[in-house]
Amino acid sequence: MKLFQTVAILKNKGSSKMSNYNVKSLKAEEFISDTEILETIKYAEENKNNIELINSILEKARPRKTESGTVCAGLNHREASVLLACENKEIIEKMYALAREIKQTFYGNRIVMFAPLYLSNYCVNGCVYCPYHMQNKHIARKKLTQEEVKAEVIALQDMGHKRLAIEAGEDPKNNPIEYILECIDTIYSIKHKNGAIRRVNVNIAATTVENYRKLKDAGIGTYILFQETYHKESYEELHPTGPKHNYAYHTEAMDRAMEGGIDDVGLGVLFGLEKYKYEFAGLLMHAEHLEAVHGVGPHTISVPRLKRADDIDPDQFDNGLADDIFEKIIACIRIAVPYTGMIISTRESQEVRERVLELGVSQISGASRTSVGGYTEEERPHDSEQFDVSDQRTLDEVVNWLMKNGHIPSFCTACYREGRTGDRFMSLCKTGQIINCCHPNALMTLTEYLVDYASEETKKIGFELIDKELEKVSNPKAKELAKQNVVDIKASNRRDFRF
């Protein structure tokens, strides 16, 4: 992706405020420059009806075939912001068509499945939008023991999950790094029937380089940390107390994670806290910064929206996001960062998820419970939920729905375990070779799910889909080996075939 690298001084019209924007700086207020974001929004507003410019931006972003594979130039934050600002319905349809084309080119019809696992809701922060804030005295505080972690993991394995994202509040006393590491070790150790958790992604508070090295050594997949908002003043008001109040320490966390050896990191903002155009520009500037400094951008970008929770009413915030704007943001992110995975959770309804899958989303959660210890409960508990879950279907129902809509639910974790992370994964994606790895791996892991966990209706739909999709594997040797592996999975308890 060609980066927008403006280290030069910018001057606001009618203002003496100067920009210190430097994409390669390691200081948060320089690689996320407020002045540069405001200049970007102004530039986008001035050019939102400039059809010639917009068409040239779309043309730049279009996938192109080369000798080494299909490539995409991507867009810088200013170019992408012009697309986001455009209100021309015909142009918006062109944007959506391009987003679909890019999604299909690099991710095909595969949708990676995962589930969150909440370890503890003890937290010392005062985040005003999260029910885990320490002033909330009536939420049930819980922290899983290792036996309870084991029970949760077995419940998740019995659904068919292979990939988890662990979550915990920030509390040095109750949730120290040693507790997180012990939980990761417990999760990986459990092999129940044909089940296994093969990848643990981690979503915990910003921490030190030393602790990121410990997480890397523990074998985590992606380190995920939502910025919440890139607007510094709003950030500090939304996080009035606790260690998370420190904007710079939080915003610079991904640089420390990469210094600690974690080369797969996941960005995200909580849409609804601040103006969406500001957050969109900041998010892309963060992605540009990581690529400029570390040689690889984010592995994933998440797009959560503020939702109702225990003592949180989203209507109290002034920046709620309508569905049509939300879909437009997702399409523009897909066009701007074509090689980056995009995640949407069960915060969103089935209807919203169905629309955005076409526009760029490549990972979704299924059968999620956002309460601590929620998976072992027969009825969905609400006393310790972080947010209301909109899509409450079972994993089998989600898998069935995806396949009926032409998607391949993938439980694959092979890239992480074969060392295809960071720039190595991106090079596979950029050369188009991903079709000979991820596509057969998705089909083999889907076969595992169907044989071990699926309902009869889901099995029927799935096996027909797999037979059809195997023919799309372009490498003859990979195709034949994948076909044989599918036969072996069906005929035996042999599992975990992978390219």
DSSP 172-219: TTTS-HHHHHHHHHHHHH---TT----EEEEE-----HHHHHHHHHTT
Whether the pLDDT of residue 123 is over 90: the answer is: yes
Q: Which of 91-105, 159-173, 304-318, 390-404 shows the lowest mean pLDDT across its residues?
A: 304-318
Residues 436 and 477: their CA atoms lie apart, in Å, by 10
Q: Do 111 and 81 form a contact (C-beta atoms < 8 A)?
A: no
Q: What is the dihedral of CA 173, 177, 180, 185, to 10 degrees?
A: -130
What single-letter amino acid sits at 472? K
What is the pTM (predicted TM-score) of this model?
Answer: 0.92
pLDDT of residue 131: 85
Q: Do 230 and 282 form a contact (C-beta atoms < 8 A)?
A: yes
pLDDT of residue 53: 98
Q: Do 23 and 37 form a contact (C-beta atoms < 8 A)?
A: no
Whether the pLDDT of residue 310 is over 80: the answer is: no
Residues 22 and 4: their CA atoms lie apart, in Å, by 10
Whether the pLDDT of residue 315 is over 70: the answer is: no
Strands (E), 357-467: 363-365, 408-410
Which runs of consecutive H residues, i.e. helices, occur in 221-379?
232-238, 247-251, 253-259, 276-294, 323-336, 350-359
Residues 107 and 53: their CA atoms lie apart, in Å, by 28
pLDDT tens digit sequence for 77-97: 999 999 999 999 999 999 999
pLDDT of residue 101: 96
The structure tokens listed for 10 are 């910018």
pLDDT of residue 2: 36
pLDDT of residue 320: 74
Q: What angle do CA 79, 85, 86 make, to 5 degrees?
A: 95
| Cα→Cα distances 108→66, 415, 429, 438, Å | 19, 16, 11, 10
Question: How are beta strands 408-410 and 363-365 bridged, if at all?
Answer: unpaired
69 vs 246 pLDDT, higher one: 246
pLDDT tens digit sequence for 396-416: 999 999 999 999 999 999 877
pLDDT of residue 69: 79
pLDDT of residue 14: 36
Residues 73 and 335: their CA atoms lie apart, in Å, by 9
Strands (E), 336-412: 341-344, 363-365, 408-410
Q: Considering just the CA atoms, what is the radius of gyration of the chain in Å?
A: 22
Q: Do 334 and 100 form a contact (C-beta atoms < 8 A)?
A: no
pLDDT of residue 387: 53
Q: Is the dihedral of CA 18, 19, 20, 26 positive or negative?
A: positive
Helix (H, G, I), strand (E, B) or coil at 118: strand
Helix (H, G, I), strand (E, B) or coil at 113: strand
pLDDT of residue 5: 38
pLDDT tens digit sequence for 356-399: 999 999 999 999 998 999 999 887 665 555 556 678 899 999 99
pLDDT tens digit sequence for 417-459: 777 777 777 777 766 667 678 899 999 999 999 999 999 999 9
pLDDT of residue 135: 84
Mean pLDDT to the nearest integer, 170-174: 97
pLDDT tens digit sequence for 128-144: 988 888 888 888 899 99
pLDDT of residue 268: 97
Please list the helix, strand and coil fractions of the chain in percent, rounded to the nearest 5, in that order.
Answer: 45, 10, 40
